[in-house]
Structure 1
């Protein structure tokens, strides 16, 4: 009888602990990594939408709204990369939901489309990722004070890992003479990442994010690349753009692919893995560009 009672008590405590866990929603893959690394097993991380969908063109489904209703907090980009959920939040009454704006503590780059329009791709940058991790840890700690120190310790540990990875590649970049290197990009998603290494973008090809250049714009781009001797073009991994091949054939420019970390399965280790890919790609591109 005593064993039965102990077993029942253990089950009750386990169910209570599970019920007491924060349910933290996320809108983008990088935020799944951030929250998973910060909260560990002390929160449930719940994507608003299932993997495999493009957040730029997504429309909320009834199943997504049901997931929203379970959440205690929701981590959002809020500056253009998850409009599907921002529109939904405007029309829903969720008084118990705390919205965490991951970018609230960041200096933002302009998107070039007006004074109140910002480049939303902060998660491609290591420095910006670290700031967002700290923001998330602080906000979760306010919602769950009993675990605040745990969240903070995890944020510091994760930030150290990200910073150590950056420093490994920074040392290699500092060995290069980049004074003559010119960079082109399909769009301005890489501004935050390149900025932290002191690298500018000389030519952006798409007139707006996701909008392919017309024939005249494409020819103008080819002429600018030739005139400026631009040798590096960064584009998006797993995103086929027909015009990139045209530019490559016309100019001989080197094509290098960065991950946006917004595709595939949700994974706590995705940011570390894809950041490593991006930094290795950056070093390879720059090293090739300065070679005779």
Structure 2
């Protein structure tokens, strides 16, 4: 038997020919919509509601998948969520650890094969959780607590919506450019405030690993994650352990989530001498088009105040 050596070019051609014989990958596609009916776009998290609402304007309907006052970190799907999922044309998801319950809802609604999912983070450069006490390289899913990663997600969502709704694709792109411009302007304002500051000695701890994307935008890093469990009030024993961990971390600033840690600030400050600053995960309250911009501005003001405090 004669053995024939194939050149790299011939190998590539053979591979391409073989791939052409494989069955095409079937992607979920929404059922046909009646002419003139607006696209129904679901959103799993508050920031995604804001992103989509600004992208589509009045050309599509944006539907939150779960109630605004639900805690997305420990959420259990409800019958109303499943009912909403049956009516959607597409669903925007985080898809990297912050809304795993959404996939349960889609499956329970019988839409696993028919509901297109837009993975907002498809084009985002992901980073591991900073300061994880276990040293594990776990992907940080909080890409929406950021301006740079938020803009990347806005454009990814816009691209995918344009594919699903080509008649409105041009309008979506125009709206996305205007929205991204406002987010860039917000970031630039605070970049100017941080310019010239010596941030090399800034050390902070957080009660949850939700701020790494925000910190890296301004050259800041999290020294320690004190209590990675989120949305769960600590017991007296856990609080004592948290206080001890803060002392060991040798930090002057602690960032806590504003919706779940309001009662912890005073005892922690009294016991450790650190200053507690509250940041938002943008994960609770009413769903509004301006929620991301409003709460990100508050977060950036808080970050600037914390940096000023640490330099005194």
TM-score range, shorter chain: 0.7 to 0.9
Aligned twin of 1:54: 71
Are the equivalent residues in 1 in contact too, given 2:202–2:220 (CA < 8 A)? no
Q: Which structure carries more helix by proportion?
A: 1
Instruction: Give distance in 2, aligned partners of 1:265 and 1:232.
Output: 30
Report the alpha carbon displacement of residue 118 of structure 1 after superposing the two structures with TM: 1.9
Aligned twin of 2:105: 88
Aligned twin of 2:246: 222
Aligned twin of 2:141: 120
Instruction: Give distance in 1, aligned partners of 2:93 and 2:269.
Output: 36
Aligned twin of 1:194: 215
1:81 match: secondary structure: coil
Instruction: Give distance in 2, aligned partners of 1:39 and 1:203.
Output: 39
Aligned twin of 1:132: 153
The alignment status of 1:289 with 2:310, answered yes or no, reads yes
Aligned twin of 1:7: none
Are the equivalent residues in 2 in contact too, given 1:25–1:46 (CA < 8 A)? yes
Are the equivalent residues in 1 in contact too, given 2:148–2:217 (CA < 8 A)? yes
Report the alpha carbon displacement of residue 98 of structure 1 after superposing the two structures with TM: 0.8
Are the equivalent residues in 1 in contact too, given 2:73–2:231 (CA < 8 A)? no
1:46 match: secondary structure: strand
TM-score (norm 1): 0.86
Unaligned runs of 5+ in 1: 1-14
Q: 1:179 to 1:272 in 2, by over 3 A?
A: same
Report the alpha carbon displacement of residue 85 of structure 1 after superposing the two structures with TM: 1.2
Structure 1 stretch displaced more, 85-94 or 161-170: 85-94
Aligned twin of 2:21: none
Aligned residues: 272
1:104-115 alignment runs, 5 A limit: 104-111=122-129
Are the equivalent residues in 2 in contact too, given 1:73–1:99 (CA < 8 A)? yes
2:39 to 6, 13, 22: 22
Aligned twin of 1:103: 121
When Rg is computed on C-alpha atoms for both structures, the one with the higher figure is 2
Structure 1 stretch displaced more, 81-90 or 159-168: 81-90
Aligned twin of 2:191: 170
1:252-291 alignment runs, 5 A limit: 252-291=273-312
Instruction: Give distance in 2, aligned partners of 1:148 and 1:27.
Output: 22
Are the equivalent residues in 1 in contact too, given 2:82–2:109 (CA < 8 A)? no
Are the equivalent residues in 2 in contact too, given 1:56–1:83 (CA < 8 A)? no
Q: 1:276 to 1:22 in 2, by over 3 A?
A: same
Aligned twin of 2:95: 78
Report the alpha carbon displacement of residue 53 of structure 1 after superposing the two structures with TM: 1.1
Unaligned runs of 5+ in 2: 1-33
1:23 match: secondary structure: strand
1:107 match: secondary structure: coil
Q: 1:145 to 1:261 in 2, by over 3 A?
A: same
The alignment status of 1:143 with 2:161, answered yes or no, reads no
1:214 match: secondary structure: helix
Report the alpha carbon displacement of residue 245 of structure 1 after superposing the two structures with TM: 3.2
Instruction: Give distance in 2, aligned partners of 1:255 and 1:194.
Output: 16
Report the alpha carbon displacement of residue 242 of structure 1 after superposing the two structures with TM: 5.2
TM-score (norm 2): 0.81
RMSD: 2.1
